[in-house]
């Protein structure tokens, strides 16, 4: 099974490439190239990834196999949507696995690692946003006990899209 570890600043360049490529693979066919380009330029640069890795309000987990990054998850403790009600919530900002590794347990392992990080940090609730037109991801999150509590706007380039906000208690059994 591939290893999961915390990202360090030296990972920023590889993470930048992985984040952009997995996002494009997941959503490129159903969005305009212009919106995809705008979003990726504003979100996945090496400098932005280095900043997120160094941000104490965030944590990036990497899944690696034979020295190659195959998936990642990014957690955050700062911004929380209004529909999330908890004393100490934490968010899963991103969770992606390269297509060649889909169906091999990598996403499940990353999710379990995310939930453990939330537990260690005494978070009581985990929240995430998932695009309303991504049934595979919605099903995955439901298997881990997430339930819908609201929505938020996810600006993809110039296209305001609807993300479903899902939550689960940190202490619920993992899927």
Write the DSSP string, 28-88.
GGGS-HHHHHHHHHHH--HHHHHHHHH-TTEEEEEEEETTEEEEEEEEESS---TT---SS
2: confidence class by pLDDT, cuts 50, 70, 90:
confident
Catalogue all structural domains in the chain, each as residue range(s) with its CATH number: 3-169 (3.40.630.30)
pTM given for the model: 0.93
The pLDDT tens digits of the residues spanning 107-161 come to 999 999 999 999 999 999 999 999 999 999 999 999 999 999 999 999 989 999 9
In the predicted structure, residue 28 carries a pLDDT above the cut 90: no
pLDDT at 175: 58
* Residue-averaged pLDDT of the chain: 94
């Amino acid at each position: 099974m591939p290893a999961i570890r915390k990202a360090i600043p030296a990972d920023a360049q590889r993470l930048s490439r992985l984040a952009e490529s997995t996002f494009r693979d997941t959503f490129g066919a159903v969005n305009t190239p212009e919106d995809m380009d705008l979003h990726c330029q504003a979100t996945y640069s090496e400098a932005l990834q280095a900043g997120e890795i160094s941000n104490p309000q965030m944590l990036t987990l990497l899944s690696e196999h034979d020295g190659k990054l195959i998936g990642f998850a990014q957690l955050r403790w700062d911004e929380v949507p209004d529909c999330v009600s908890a004393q100490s919530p934490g968010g899963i900002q991103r969770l992606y696995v390269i297509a060649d590794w889909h169906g091999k347990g990598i996403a499940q392992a990353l999710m379990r690692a995310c939930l453990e990080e939330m537990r260690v940090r005494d978070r009581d609730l985990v929240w995430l946003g998932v695009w309303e037109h991504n049934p595979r991801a919605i099903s995955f999150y439901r298997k881990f006990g997430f339930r819908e509590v609201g929505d938020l706007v996810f600006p993809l380039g110039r296209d305001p899209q609807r993300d479903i906000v899902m939550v689960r208690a940190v202490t619920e059994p993992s899927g």
